[in-house]
Amino acid sequence: MTDTLLFTNIDEPGLNTIDVYLARGGYEQLGRALKMEREDLITELSGSGLRGRGGAGFPMGRKASFIPKGDMQKYVVCNADESEPGTFKDRELIQKNPHQLIEGLIIAAYAIDATINYIYIRGEYDQQADILDAAIAEARERGFLGEKILGSDFSVQLELSRGAGAYICGEETGLLDSLEGKRGNPRLKPPFPANEGLFNGPTLINNVETLSAIPSIIKLGAEGYAAIGVKDSSGTKLVSISGNVERPGNYEIELGTSSRELIYDLAGGPVDGRAIKCWFPGGSSTPVLTADDLDIGYDYDSIAAAGSMLGSGAIIVVDETQSVVELAYKLAKFYSHESCGKCTPCREGTAWTFHMVERIKEGTATPMDLDIMAAVQEQIIGHCLCVLGDAMAMPIGSLIAKFRDEFEAEIETNRNERERKLAEEFAAAEVEIEGISA
């Protein structure tokens, strides 16, 4: 396994302050990048093969190359909304090494000539936002932000913008609307943000981890970076492992590492030697995999080949003692709560699914409801304005497909349980109807 890139010195005390960061070679890559031609810089980013770490995995350099040239106002927006259940990697990066992110962001801004830039951080990350705010102020003070930075003729501003609790604001266009002071509803695409994004200007939107990787790319060179990992999945990736494991946390791995190694060797696997029932490979939005899939490599293509997605790189491990109905319940509750409500299939489909799972739990569902539930997921997928709806429909669809027996068994158990309770209540109640007493 290669050395760390993103997590280098991560636990060093004071790394979040500019002096320590500078002492560790911080902002050197920015200096180098500013001496490059913009075109060459974008070629370098493309050549690294870095794919977006926010969920969609779109090649970062290619996205930067879509930004039109010209003297309109352009923007880089860093997506630090990190709300995908199971994901907490950006948090650690922001909290412990904010300057790495700022440096990467300024390089990206220079590459596309964006002079006004924002980091949109979820409102719940209060402490992290304060740290980031302080780091931005330091960078401004030391001349890494502001007019004509480092003697170049590039002037750049960066502001932090705090969200206020809405998962959909992680979706890039929902984020833009939120940043513009609107309800965080996703926008119709096209136009894509690269052409018409923030305040209608061309906008490059990247995840915290994506931007944080940029200084390493400049340092190692495109080839050096691309040499890490496997084909079409280059570089290192932070993996947030949580759920039923001994050592939950963030791990920086080379893409392509076996999933079993991640879950068992790094995170320690489930407690008490329990078996794994299923695992989400890339956050709660991705179809679940089972214990049979543990030996696939943890990279974009291999996970896709197994029928799921690497997503944000968040592995949630579910052990054999857990109920799939409970999982479906949490999923449906989350996505129906977080649906923005703009488009019909997502708004209605997530809520309907939630009510159906609720009925399974209450004991009022029948196996036919399972068919309806599966059909509703099909009715959502591919019909929505953004992919939040799909983000519920795919994992729930996969749970029903893979654990149908367990659903049916639970439907049966809960029905029986409910009937038993009703009978008891009836017996306990002093019901007297015309001489008949219970």
Ligand X SMILES: Cc1cc2nc3c(=O)[nH]c(=O)nc-3n(C[C@H](O)[C@H](O)[C@H](O)COP(=O)(O)O)c2cc1C
Site residues for ligand X, 58-77, by CB under 6 A, read 58, 60
User: Cβ 429 to other proteins, closest distance in Å?
Assistant: 19
Judged by beta carbon, residue 148 or residue 247, the one nearer other proteins is 247
- In angstroms, the CA 332 to CA 381 distance is 14
Q: 51 vs 99, which CB is nearer to ligand X?
A: 51
| Minimum gap (Å) between residue 184 Cβ and ligand X | 10
**Chain residues 244-303 in contact with ligand X, contact rule CB under 6 A:** none
Q: Is 170 in the site for ligand X (CB under 6 A)?
A: yes
- 27 sits in the region (left: phi over 0; alpha: psi -120 to 50; else beta) called left
Min dist CB 385 to other proteins, Å, is 6
Q: Does 249 bind other proteins (CB under 8 A)?
A: yes
Binding residue for other proteins, selected from 19, 126, 295, 320, defined by CB under 8 A: 126
Verify binding: residue 388, ligand X, rule CB under 6 A.
Answer: yes
Cβ at position 226, least distance to other proteins in Å: 21
Residue 87 interacting with other proteins (CB under 8 A): yes
Q: Where are the alpha helices (DSSP H) in 207-323?
A: 208-212, 214-226, 259-260, 300-305
Q: Which residues pair with 117 in a beta bridge?
A: 76, 158
Taking CB under 6 A as the criterion, which residues in 172-201 touch ligand X?
172
Q: Tokens representing 409? A: 């068994």
Contact at 8 Å (CB) between 65 and 41?
no
- The residue type at 411: I
Supply the minimum distance, in Å, between the C-beta of residue 161 and ligand X.
14
Determine if 340 is a binding residue for other proteins (CB under 8 A). yes
CB of 93 to ligand X, least distance (A): 12
Contact 227, 206 (CB under 8 A): no
Total Cβ atoms within 10 A of residue 65: 16
Site map for ligand X, 353-372, x if CB under 6 A?
--------------------
Of the two residues 296 and 318, which places its CB atom closer to other proteins in the complex?
318
Contacts of 40 (CB under 8 A, 6+ apart): none
Cβ closest to other proteins, residue 219 vs residue 347: 347
Question: Which of ligand X, other proteins, none does residue 313 bind to, with CB < 5 to 8 Å depending on kind?
Answer: none
Rounded to the nearest 10 degrees, what angle do helices 214-226 and 98-112 cross at? 70
Q: Identity (one letter) of the amino acid at 318?
A: V
Please report how close the Cβ of residue 271 comes to other proteins at its closest, in angstroms. 10
Which residue minimizes CB distance to ligand X?
A: 52
Residue 163 CB, nearest approach to other proteins (Å): 7
Q: Binding to other proteins by residue 155, rule CB under 8 A? A: no
Strands 432-433 and 436-437: antiparallel
Range list of H helices, 228-386 = 259-260, 300-305, 324-338, 344-362, 367-380
Rounded to a whole number of angstroms, the minimum distance from the CB of residue 221 to other proteins is 22
Under rule CB under 6 A, residue 387 binds ligand X: yes
CB-CB contact of 340 with 388 (8 Å)? yes
- Provide the minimum distance between the beta carbon of 289 and other proteins in the complex, in angstroms, as a whole number: 15
Q: Which does 95 bind (CB under 5 to 8 A by kind): ligand X, other proteins, none?
A: other proteins
Please list the alpha-helical segments (H only) found in 81-212: 89-96, 98-112, 126-141, 172-179, 208-212
Residue 279 interacting entry, from other proteins, ligand X, none, C-beta within 5 to 8 Å by type? none
Q: Please report whether residue 431 would count as binding other proteins according to CB under 8 A.
A: no
Size of the site for other proteins (CB under 8 A): 95
Sites for other proteins among residues 164-203 (CB under 8 A): 164-167, 178-184, 188, 199
The count of other CB atoms within 10 Å of the CB of residue 71 is: 6
Contact (Cβ atoms closer than 8 angstroms) between residue 360 and residue 409:
no
Answer whether 31's CB lies under 8 Å from 40's CB.
no
- How far is the C-alpha of 258 from the C-alpha of 294, rounded, in Å? 8
Q: Which stretch binds ligand X (CB under 6 A): 109-117, 263-271, 385-393, 399-407?
A: 385-393
User: Can residue 206 be called a binding residue for ligand X (CB under 6 A)?
Assistant: yes
Quote the crossing angle between the two packed helices 214-226 and 38-48, to the nearest 10°.
60
Q: Which of 148, 330, 420, 421 binds other proteins (CB under 8 A)?
A: 330
Structure tokens belonging to residue 149: 């930075």
Residue 343 interacting partner from other proteins, ligand X, none (CB closer than 5 to 8 Å by kind): other proteins
Dump the DSSP string for 203-224. EEEEEHHHHHTHHHHHHHHHHH
Rule CB under 6 A: choose which of 79, 178, 286, 353 binds ligand X.
79
Residues of this chain that interact with ligand X (CB under 6 A) are 52-56, 58, 60, 79, 81-84, 168, 170-172, 205-207, 210, 386-388, 391
